[in-house]
Structure 1
Amino acid sequence: MIYKYFKECKKLIVLITLLGMLIGMLFFITKDTPPTLVLKKKKINIEYGQTYYANFKGLVDTTGMSKKEICYLKKNVSITDNLQNEDQKSYPAVGKYKIFIKYNNKLSTIQIICKDTLAPVLAFPKNVDVIKESDLESIDFKSLIIATDLSPLKEIQIDTSQIDIHRIGEYQVKVFVEDIYKNRREKEFKVNVTENKQETTNSQNNQENNVNKIESENNKPNEDITISQSNEKNNVKDHLDNGHQQTKPPQMVYWYECYLCGLYVDSNVSLEDAKKKFDQTKCTDAIEFSGIEWRHSRFHYGINHS
């Protein structure tokens, strides 16, 4: 009886020992197994004109991992890319690039596609006056229009087919411009066909002289400084709230604004100049990685005119 009891205990001890060894082996196997690298994206699209910096947080998915596992990944993951800025620019050219992620002797790649999807910006006067019976083809409407874009532009196209130069009235002129990536902008502005005020004034003065039979060398016809038939360019003039007079071209204000920290910078020189100022200031809401200065990763830009 005692022998049988001892035999059963011996079996139980062996089973407990084996179970303990199995648990220990599983613990050490799990402990020594490095975390699996999971990438957030296989492809990244960026807008032409934006800078992009490949970093651990933006590329590696650490959902459900412990701090120790995340720390291990950060120490053992190497991130490089072949992004190259365009000549004399602070952002890459339109094209395809790659990010290379090396981890435990395995290399993964993420494709970066830089596209220009933004249409050009157009600036022009809201209203333009032309004199009735003027030679419409000789009027240089393009000189009143400013088109800007980061990419090269095709020639500005203007549709004046709605204007009846023989009738006083208000007409719509369409402006089209497209960049080399077929991003198209279409706008309209008003053209007012008006009377030649100087001719009207001369006619009225002549009628008064004929009726009253008064001749005076000192009385001269009224002059209208907004029109001159001898100068082709003066056939076009801006229509302003304070009267009809030729105005200066609109002043351009180029600006950049960060979505994250709210930084706003502008320049009267160019978008390039505004972007340079923008990049010189750190983003207070960005995340620093591998010693790279904080950058504005989410922003927009534009051109205003006054």
Structure 2
Amino acid sequence: MMYTVSDESLWHGRIDDKENRDHFRNFQAVDVIDAAGDLTERYDVGILGYAVDRGVHLNQGRVGAKRGPDAVRTKFGNLPLMKDISIADFGNVSTDEPYVEAVQKEYAELISKTNDYAKFHLLIGGGHDIAYAHFKGLKALYPDQTIGVINIDAHFDLRDAQYATSGTGFKQILDEDADAGYLVLGLQEAGNTQYLFNVAEQYDVKYVLAEDINYDTTYEIIQSFIEQYDVIMLTLCLDVLDSAFAPGVSAPCSFGLTPQQVERLIREVLSYGKTRHLSIAEMNPEYDIDGRTAKLVGHISFHAVHRNPNIL
């Protein structure tokens, strides 16, 4: 495992004014923080990168997502600062080890450590093995509260494996915590074997297929699910998006959701005020086109920050 402070040169962009914050973009409001040291100052938004794609490799996916967090920083940084908010970049974790369990543990510990120093956290991957690390961080923070997991994803990620991969995280969560619940939004029938549907039924997993996402029934399902839990873990796998919008992912999707659908789902979940961390997985610059996917993640992050009840 390895923790690194972010490269400040990633935070750059157009400068319209150096003094008047009405002209600022996000990069002009970012402090790069060494999260390995003592933390003192509190921020509105904290960014923590999971620069790991070993779990994708172990899941037989195409690698490259370890460069995702830095690619997203550059795109998010050049978007407008729409509120008078403060942003902390808490750096990245990465690994050269053959398996991901140790780096997941380190990332979970950093989530817990940085929690009190930002009102809302963007957890940027990297492979979707970030989800298990995300959950472990929340369990450390809320050991006596129930956690409902909402995953906006084309896949269940309920695989069995002798070691953790980007496809095992949610089964690990359900196996470890009998009180946890799991809801998948945007699921693709063609992206999951019958065995995975059987596992989902066994674990009472709730899901909405991509073709059934709408602004009425889906929101009722979200509300009903959220009301059952004290804390909501929200995670987004970018392969839920149609590949026309998000080509730079580990497993591109041909019949995916639109960016507007995904943004509305995130906004709806955040509106309940039970979510302080959003993890975004599988941004893969190796297969991106003209930075399209990284910019899309920047915009998703922008809306998650600027329409967030935890920050208002």
- Could you say which TM-score interval applies, normalised by the shorter chain? under 0.3
Give me the TM-score of the superposition, normalised by structure 1.
0.24
Q: Which has the higher contact order (CA 8 A, sep 6+)?
A: 2
Give me the TM-score of the superposition, normalised by structure 2.
0.24
Bigger share in helix:
2
Bigger share in strand:
1
- Kindly name which structure, 1 or 2, has the bigger radius of gyration based on alpha carbons: 1
